Structure 1
Amino acid sequence: MTHAENHYDAVIIGAGMSGLAAAVRLAMYDRRVLVVERHNAPGGLNSFYAKAGRKYDVGLHALTNWVPEGVKGAPLVKLMRQLRIRREELDLCPQFGSKVSMAGKNLRLNNHFDDLLADVATEFPKSVDRFRALDAWIAGLDEAALQAHGGSARSLLDERLGDPLLCDMLLLPTCFYGSALEDDIEVSQFAVMWRSLFREGFARPFIGVRQVVRILLDRCREHGVERRMKCGVKSMEVKAGRVVALHLDDGTEVTADAIYSSAGAVETQRLRSDVSPLVGAAEIGRLGYAETIATYDPAAFRDFKWQDTIIFFCDAERFTYRSPEQLVDARSGVICIPNNYEYGEGRALDEGWLRVTALANHDAWCALPETEYQARKQEWCARLNRVARTHLPAVADVAHDAALTSTDVFTPRTVRKFTGHLNGAIYGSPVKRRDGRTDLANLFLIGTDQGFLGVTGAMLSGISMANLHGLKA
């Protein structure tokens, strides 16, 4: 390759949602873009895989920020406009209805904020006026601003609401869907989640995350983005405050005017030639998850009468959100039933699906010998399934087990293996860099450690950083 052939306007590390969105946005304006990805499947933390003939989604419980057609100014609308995606391409189907369940109380999250407000009035009548005032205060924030409003959301809620249970019930979904901090969530991120989950809502493409990945890949092809799969970055050569070359896994060397990395802040720093390979240990995220996936015979599954889309549950007196000492903390988590979206007449998933997510200990899972690791996975698959079923209409064990067609489990060890995220930390480092800047003039962060989380957030992260550092610059 000549120098001209191996030089790009932008190299993007990672073919996840943020990387692909950044690539499309830059290439739309005739930038020469290369995306490098160490793994063989695009999508990153929101990907999919096939096993025994089944296609499993990873990451995507729901695409948040759903709004009805015609609503203007919403993050989802901005995303579609920036990437020139038509709404019908996404095939978004709104949820049946979700809830937060704790201490015998339920708060509906069903794409209608007034229903959540009504439930707060019913369950917490002394706090409803303060809840309205909090909503008004959050509405006044620019939650997507690159100079974020810091501070503790737990402290904010304690101060503004007073009721510990209501505070916990609002932290439960916002932490599980968007916090890298133990036992808390930053105020600006809480405001993002408030809008995403409470004010707007949940939807899902009929075929799941593959629909979103497929659209992004199509746009990449349309705009001439070059993609190298199974080829990550081995190291970045740094001189005079800039990345001057990237050495790839396949032995080639490329150069770029700008590098956008979705690998994570610490993971990106550790690729540099000018720093210790152990740099940033204090900034590595600690929050990992285990998730079980069960599939069922469709006719039997319909008879279960499980109608909730997502249930955020906590069976403890107080909600704690931290890396557990044991393998899994089953006291709280997220139950997701992908069947329960409004797919429309004549469309239904081929099987019944039940996904259960809970906090898990990365180091404990990684310390297990292989035989015990596999055994513990099966044990926790059964245990989390039983926990989930206590929050759903009762089904006899005999009927449940007869309908079961497959199970699978992933742990923080799985996440680390297939994404490279240290500690298997889904939401990355607790230290976010909202403007994407690093100490190197041409190296920028996108994705998880830039700070916009979730599928919608990840794509907006890639778009925002491409606009700020690639197009406006």
Structure 2
Amino acid sequence: MAEHYDVAIIGAGMSGLSAGIRAAHFGKKAIILEQHNAPGGLNSFYAKEGRKYDVGLHAMTNFVPASERRAIFNKLLRQLRIDRAELDLIEQKSSRVAFPGVNLRFGNDEGLLESEVEAAFPGQVDGFRKLSETIRDFPDRDLEQPYQSARSWIKQFISDPLLEEMIFCPLMYYGSAVENDMDVGQFVIMFRSIFHEGLARPAEGIRLLIRVVLDRYRKLGGIRKMKTGVKRLIEEGGRISRIELDNGEEITADVILSCAGLPETYSLVDPSIIADQSKDAGKLAFSETIAVYETLPETWGWGDDTIVFFNDSDRFVYEAPEEQIDLRSGVICLPNNFEFGDRPLKEGLVRVTCLANHDAWCGFSEERYQAAKEEWFGRIQNSILPMMPKPTRDHSGELVATDMFTPKTIKRFTRRARGAIYGSPRKVKDGRTDWDNLFLCGADQGYLGIVGSMLSGVVIANQYVLKG
């Protein structure tokens, strides 16, 4: 007879783990099913040649002081019963948006960005202040409304096209599944989380966060099965009656929460749905290069920037590129440049993220694929040089390790349709599907980023596991 659970959660990413904690805390018999041997989903880590690399995490958004009890991040930690001190959070130094001839610096003091806008766009500062105030007071209920173009909405505040592009660049790169636009609700969430609140990271990176969340789930008695993928969700009478696993076993559950994504989840119920061809599959995929140096970036003059969102022209294009990689824009992350104080990281790290063409990378033979990675690694590294201070010395000989992931990597390890990290452009904000006991959490429910993903798991578990 199949084992029965109160709730079965597909995916041990941050949303799945957070949903599991909420369920287990209230005595629900919960199981998390993960196809791989490492938790974290789109925010995880891996080992290569003796080094551990973070995947996904540049920084955690929504950083606020512990004293701000009404802030989303602090509320989330209370819901998960996690002691903030366990995360050992390190604040960013400061970050910037870099366009030709104009830089806008921002940090965990929101006044910095306003002063930068006033200096670079003096005729726009009143509109920017009004935009910021409107976002601060934006009704939470309006975040759940149907899609509305943020590109159209922002024009009531900002009339300078360049400033508009510079505002959208970091917000899209950190949270939009829509080409060249965002939903107003998502725009508001990302503006608040990055510009009003700020960025930080656990001192040890994503591994520390995963360890803390896993320990909490485990201590509450939650069950977690790794290397246990879901093959099929069997529907009967408008409900999911059974869950068939890749190993042929079956389990049952009163409620199923899927972190797999919208088209991916539907294809588990109806295998005739090909996720890559679904109208709901995302189009935006990314690549990332990682360069490891034996010295820290500050020793060659790159010690001030934590994250740089860059674009090489006045117009920001955020869409699936025709070439394998779009070098016109991207995100440069320097993990050393958080406020580590007297305990710096031992090696220097430079991570660069760019938009990538899924079809091109997944269409290569293995030999061509490896050659393309080597070619594009060098091109990406060279493309960021105009965006960074001129190095005070040649540090190229200090490079000790490199790696690169592509849409093919993401698709292989997450099964995410088209390697789209941010999932489908169609978000299901209430988490409901066509089946009474199957709900979405994670990216395709609509909350993005690490904190957003965790919040999604909590919200959906509260609504459909605890209230249901």
Provide the TM-score with structure 1 as the length reference: 0.96
Q: Deviations over 1:406-450 (max 9, x none)?
A: 110000010000111010001000000111011111000000100
Does the 8 Å contact 2:258/2:438 carry over to 1?
A: yes
What is the one-letter code of the residue matched to 1:31? K
Please say if 1:201 is aligned against 2:198. yes
Please say if 1:284 is aligned against 2:281. yes
Describe the shift of the 1:21–1:150 C-alpha distance in structure 2 as closer, same or farther (beyond 3 A): same
Give the superposition deviation at 1:327: 0.3
Give the superposition deviation at 1:276: 2.5
Q: 2:373 aligns with which of 355, 377, 382?
A: 377
Alignment of 1:74-153 (within 5 A): 74-143=71-140, 147-148=144-145, 150-153=147-150
Give the superposition deviation at 1:154: 1.1
Q: Deviations over 1:291-337 (max 9, x none)?
A: 00000012676234432000000002300100000000010000000
Give the superposition deviation at 1:382: 1.0
Q: 1:348 aligns with which of 344, 348, 351?
A: 344
| CA distance in structure 2 between the partners assigned to 1:199 and 1:299 by the alignment | 29
Please say if 1:462 is aligned against 2:457. yes
Describe the shift of the 1:82–1:144 C-alpha distance in structure 2 as closer, same or farther (beyond 3 A): farther
SS at 1:328 equivalent = coil
Does the 8 Å contact 1:149/1:187 carry over to 2?
A: no
SS at 2:256 equivalent = strand
Q: 1:421 aligns with which of 396, 404, 416?
A: 416
- 1:403 match: 398
- 1:394 match: 390
Does the 8 Å contact 2:144/2:185 carry over to 1?
A: no
Provide the TM-score with structure 2 as the length reference: 0.97
Does the 8 Å contact 1:95/1:342 carry over to 2?
A: yes
Give the superposition deviation at 1:78: 1.1
| CA distance in structure 1 between the partners assigned to 2:391 and 2:143 by the alignment | 48
| CA distance in structure 2 between the partners assigned to 1:343 and 1:207 by the alignment | 11
Q: Tell me the number of residue pairs that the alignment of Structure 1 and Structure 2 aligns.
A: 467
Please say if 1:218 is aligned against 2:215. yes
What is the one-letter code of the residue matched to 1:395? P
Does the 8 Å contact 1:294/1:355 carry over to 2?
A: yes
Please say if 1:71 is aligned against 2:68. yes
SS at 1:339 equivalent = helix
- 2:299 match: 302
| CA distance in structure 1 between the partners assigned to 2:282 and 2:383 by the alignment | 26
| CA distance in structure 2 between the partners assigned to 1:315 and 1:389 by the alignment | 11
Q: 1:22 aligns with which of 10, 13, 19?
A: 19
| CA distance in structure 1 between the partners assigned to 2:43 and 2:398 by the alignment | 28
- 1:331 match: 328
| CA distance in structure 2 between the partners assigned to 1:341 and 1:287 by the alignment | 28
Describe the shift of the 1:315–1:299 C-alpha distance in structure 2 as closer, same or farther (beyond 3 A): closer
What is the one-letter code of the residue matched to 1:338? P
| CA distance in structure 1 between the partners assigned to 2:439 and 2:146 by the alignment | 21
SS at 1:234 equivalent = strand
Does the 8 Å contact 2:287/2:405 carry over to 1?
A: yes
| CA distance in structure 2 between the partners assigned to 1:408 and 1:168 by the alignment | 30
| CA distance in structure 2 between the partners assigned to 1:145 and 1:28 by the alignment | 30
Give the superposition deviation at 1:149: 5.9
- 1:444 match: 439
What is the one-letter code of the residue matched to 1:182? E
| CA distance in structure 2 between the partners assigned to 1:144 and 1:306 by the alignment | 41
Worse-matched range after superposition: 153-162 or 315-324: 153-162
| CA distance in structure 1 between the partners assigned to 2:297 and 2:261 by the alignment | 43
Structure 1: which 4+ aligned runs deviate by more than 6 Å? none
- 1:434 match: 429
Gaps of 5+ in 1: none
Does the 8 Å contact 2:143/2:186 carry over to 1?
A: no
Describe the shift of the 1:319–1:12 C-alpha distance in structure 2 as closer, same or farther (beyond 3 A): same
Describe the shift of the 1:300–1:90 C-alpha distance in structure 2 as closer, same or farther (beyond 3 A): closer
Alignment of 1:255-270 (within 5 A): 255-270=252-267
| CA distance in structure 2 between the partners assigned to 1:90 and 1:105 by the alignment | 35
Worse-matched range after superposition: 400-409 or 168-177: 400-409
Does the 8 Å contact 1:24/1:219 carry over to 2?
A: yes
